[in-house]
Amino acid sequence: MLRDDIATSDGLTFYDLETPCLLLDRSKVQSNIARLRAHLAPFDVVLRPHLKTAKSIDVARLAMTSPSGPAMVSTLKEADYFARNGVTDLIYGVGISPAKFETVAAIERTHGAKVAILIDCLAQAHALAEWSQQANHSLDVFIEIDCDGHRSGVAPDNRVMLEAIGQMVSRSACNLRGVLTHAGESYSLHDADTLAGAAERERCAVVLAANTLRAIGLQSPHVSIGSTPTAHFTRNLDGVTEVRAGVFMFGDLFQAGVGVLQPQDIAVSVLATVIGHRQSPDRIIVDAGWMAMSRDRSTQNQAIDQAYGLVCDLDGAILHDVLLLETNQEHGSIGIRQGSHRTLPDLAIGQRVRILPNHACATCAQHDSYQVCDAGQAIIATWPRISGW
Ligand X SMILES: Cc1ncc(COP(=O)(O)O)c(C=O)c1O
What are the residues binding ligand X (CB under 6 A)? 50, 72, 93, 182, 226-228, 244-248
Q: Which is nearer to ligand X, 111 or 244 (CB)?
A: 244
CB of 276 to ligand X, least distance (A): 35
Q: Which is nearer to ligand X, 172 or 255 (CB)?
A: 255
Q: Which is nearer to ligand X, 231 or 292 (CB)?
A: 231
CB of 47 to ligand X, least distance (A): 11
CA distance 43 to 238: 8
Compute CA distances 322 → 22, 138, 309, whole Å.
19, 54, 9
CB of 228 to ligand X, least distance (A): 3
Q: Which is nearer to ligand X, 352 or 359 (CB)?
A: 359
CB of 88 to ligand X, least distance (A): 19
CA distance 280 to 271: 25
Element (H, E) at 304: none
Q: Which of 110-140 are b and which e, b meaning 16 or more Cβ less than 10 Å from the residue's Cβ?
A: ebebbbbbbbbbeebbbbbbebbeeeebebb
Q: Which is nearer to ligand X, 172 or 227 (CB)?
A: 227
Q: Which is nearer to ligand X, 355 or 360 (CB)?
A: 360
CB of 142 to ligand X, least distance (A): 10
CA distance 92 to 222: 15
Compute CA distances 146 → 4, 180, 234, whole Å.
44, 9, 18
Q: Which is nearer to ligand X, 26 or 48 (CB)?
A: 48
CA angle in degrees (0–180, nearest 5) for 106-109-115: 75
CA distance 194 to 90: 31
Tell me the sheet residues that pair with 270: 22, 355
Q: ω into residue 98 within 30 of 0, thus cis?
A: no
CB of 198 to ligand X, least distance (A): 12
CB of 145 to ligand X, least distance (A): 11
CB of 245 to ligand X, least distance (A): 4
Q: For CA atoms 203, 204, 206, 207, give the dihedral sign.
A: positive
Q: Which is nearer to ligand X, 72 or 324 (CB)?
A: 72
Strand order of the β-sheet with 89-92 is: 46-49, 242-245, 222-225, 175-181, 140-145, 114-119, 89-92, 71-73
**At 315, which amino acid appears?**
D
